[in-house]
Chain A
Amino acid sequence: GESVGLHLPTLSVQEGDNSIINCAYSNSASDYFIWYKQESGKGPQFIIDIRSNMDKRQGQRVTVLLNKTVKHLSLQIAATQPGDSAVYFCAENIGPSYGGSQGNLIFGKGTKLSVKP
């Protein structure tokens, strides 16, 4: 079946370095993607989103890249800080035109980011 997955289950980086977290999706009908950050024992926190008509979007210290050709999504975190340590999930929405509904997201498996001081 179609699913959202991640290439790397864990990622360890040095404080100050840049982090790249990858996500592969297989549903070509997906038109909206979100990255969430989840700290231990807490609910997911929105980081950044991107629509399928874009290939790049930047936020504060974060950038999301979308490559529709290979169905690949990535999250780049600049100057990674200890507070960035968490599990990161990508999520996709196939959109109402294809049977999806607003907010009905499919989540990937997650990547645990550990930042070494």
Chain B
Amino acid sequence: GAVVSQHPSWVICKSGTSVKIECRSLDFQATTMFWYRQFPKQSLMLMATSNEGSKATYEQGVEKDKFLINHASLTLSTLTVTSAHPEDSSFYICSATKQGIEKLFFGSGTQLSVL
């Protein structure tokens, strides 16, 4: 199998604080991980592509200084939402690719609510 674990499942924070979301590939090495953002009743929007050992590639319109991505190992990528504001409240989802397999394996998502 190919299991991707995402933590936490939900988080509530105060405006101005930072929140870290973890994405782990449990039984495979993921050279590439992707971070998506999803608003209610909308589709997934790619935020950035994270490659192990290198800087993340951000999609147009996504602030790299606000959404810090670290992919320090082949099994872990983190997304940190810095100085969160209510408009950052959303469902964040990570996914990972397994070598030789084209389809993505998704985490369970993190619901972020910024008060």
Q: Which residues of A contact B (CB under 8 A)?
A: 32, 34, 36, 41-46, 49, 89, 93, 101-105, 107-110
- Which A residue's beta carbon lies closest to that of B108? A43
The stretch of B13-21, B40-48, B68-76, B82-90 in contact with A is B40-48
| Cβ of A77 to closest chain B Cβ, rounded Å | 19
Contact A103 B32 (CB under 8 A): yes
Docked CA distance A39–B108 (Å): 10
10 cross-chain pairs, A with B, having the tightest CB-CB distances, nearest first: A103-B97, A43-B106, A43-B109, A107-B43, A107-B44, A43-B108, A44-B106, A103-B104, A109-B43, A43-B93
Instruction: Tell me which of A32, A42, A103 has the highest count of chain B C-beta atoms within 10 A of its own C-beta.
Output: A103
Q: Are A103 and B34 in contact (CB under 8 A)?
A: yes
Whether the pair B111, A101 counts as a contact (CB closer than 8 A) is no
A84→B109 CA distance, assembly (Å): 20
Chain A: minimal CB distance from B14 (Å): 23
We find that the number of chain B residues with CB closer than 8 angstroms to chain A is 25
Q: Which listed residue, A32, A34, A104, touches B49 by the CB 8 Å rule? A: A104
- What separation, in Å, do the CA atoms of A93 and B49 have in the docked complex? 14
Which residues of A are found within 8 Å of B106, using beta-carbon distances? 36, 43-46
Tell me the smallest distance from the CB of A96 to a CB of chain B, in Å. Answer: 10
Q: How far does the Cβ of A104 sit from chain B's closest Cβ, in whole Å?
A: 7
Across the interface, which residues of A come within 8 angstroms of B111, CB to CB?
41
| A102-B32, A102-B97 known; A93+B46 contact, CB < 8 A | no
Contacts A43-B93, A44-B44, A44-B93 given; indicate if A104 touches B102 (C-beta within 8 A): no
